[in-house]
Amino acid sequence: MSTYSFRHGQWVSFPAPAALHAGAHRTSKGEVVGIFSRGGKDAAGNTSPDHIAVVDPEGYNLVSSVGGIVLNVQVHPSQVSAAPLLDKRDIPERRREIPKSIELKP
Amino acid sequence: MALLIPNEGEVQLLTDLLGGGTLENWTLKLFQSNTTPAETDTAATYTEANFTSYSAQTLTRTISASTWNTPASGSPTGSWASGLGLSGETSVAESPYGSSARSWTCGTTGNTIYGYYIVGATSTKLIGAEKFATARTLANSDTLSFTPRIGLA
């Protein structure tokens, strides 16, 4: 269970066996990388719960096919021991495009 | 979900707020990449839609009935009420865009649309992005409509 309170859009990581979330991007320590998204109602009027979206090495959402239906791989923060991802080298390279004047927030 | 303002959008908005002067318009775009917005994003993170008849839309930086509506305080609604951690916040300032929803109608060739993003028309900075709770697959004659809104709490 996560003990942190995450911000919307924050990079996070959590430990998971290699067989779980196959194809996920992992940190140098082998943890699964994802993005915390605060749930709620979107501009189109649909709702979603708080979740961590697991990403692939390109930074896109990891997807899984279940019974022929393609679903985004996501977990609830209460299901894993997630922590903020502080080393930007662990972010998928395509999504590290950070302005020179900005550092990742701790 | 909710609109995410990434790091570079925070800088751009603070520059606008403190610098004043003529404000650039924003461009509203739809994205077809399965991307969850993150704080490190730039406009290049997203793959823009290209379905038949698609075009980005200008969000003019004025306050009027047809552009950004007069900001008003009110009780938190939408994602603010249900998820953004505004516990104890009883009033937020908010402005929707226009008197009707922004709308796109798909032509012959469609896309799956995962959300929208807003880019500075001249700065090209990513101002914000939101992924829809449910992706929309647009085929010929399908319409996608929503109303952008922005606020401060």
Q: Flag if B146 and A55 touch (Cβ within 8 Å).
A: no
Residue B38, pLDDT score = 97
Residue B26, pLDDT score = 98
B82 touches chain A (CB under 8 A): yes
pLDDT beyond 70 at B87: no
Give the lowest-confidence range in B62-66, B79-83, B104-108, B128-132.
Answer: B79-83
Q: What is the pLDDT of residues A7-58, one digit of tens each?
A: 999 999 999 988 889 999 999 999 999 999 998 888 888 898 999 999 999 9
Q: What is the pTM of this model?
A: 0.90
Distance, in Å, from the CA atom of B7 to the CA atom of B128, rounded to the nearest integer, reads: 10
How many angstroms separate the Cα of A12 from the Cα of each of A26, A37, A83, A98, B24?
11, 11, 5, 17, 33
Higher pLDDT, A101 or A60: A60
- Per the DSSP assignment, residues forming a β-bridge with B102 are B146
Distance, in Å, from the CA atom of A89 to the CA atom of A86, rounded to the nearest integer, reads: 9
Whose tokens are 């008003």? That residue is B72
Mean per-residue pLDDT, B54-58: 98
Smallest CA-to-CA distance from B135 within B117, B118, B111 is with: B111
In this structure, what is the dihedral angle of CA atoms A82, A48, A7, B87, given to the nearest 10 degrees? -120
**Is the Cα torsion angle B11, B12, B13, B16 positive or negative in sign?**
positive
Mean per-residue pLDDT, B68-90: 70
Residue A105, pLDDT score = 56
For residue B82, the SS3 value is: helix
B89 touches chain A (CB under 8 A): no
B94 touches chain A (CB under 8 A): no
Mean per-residue pLDDT, B99-118: 97
pLDDT beyond 70 at B86: no
B36 touches chain A (CB under 8 A): yes
d(CA A45, nearest CA chain B) in Å: 8
Q: Flag if B134 and A46 touch (Cβ within 8 Å).
A: yes
Q: Which chain B residues are Cβ-neighbours of A95 within 8 angstroms?
A: 38, 40-41, 45
Q: Flag if B84 and A7 touch (Cβ within 8 Å).
A: no
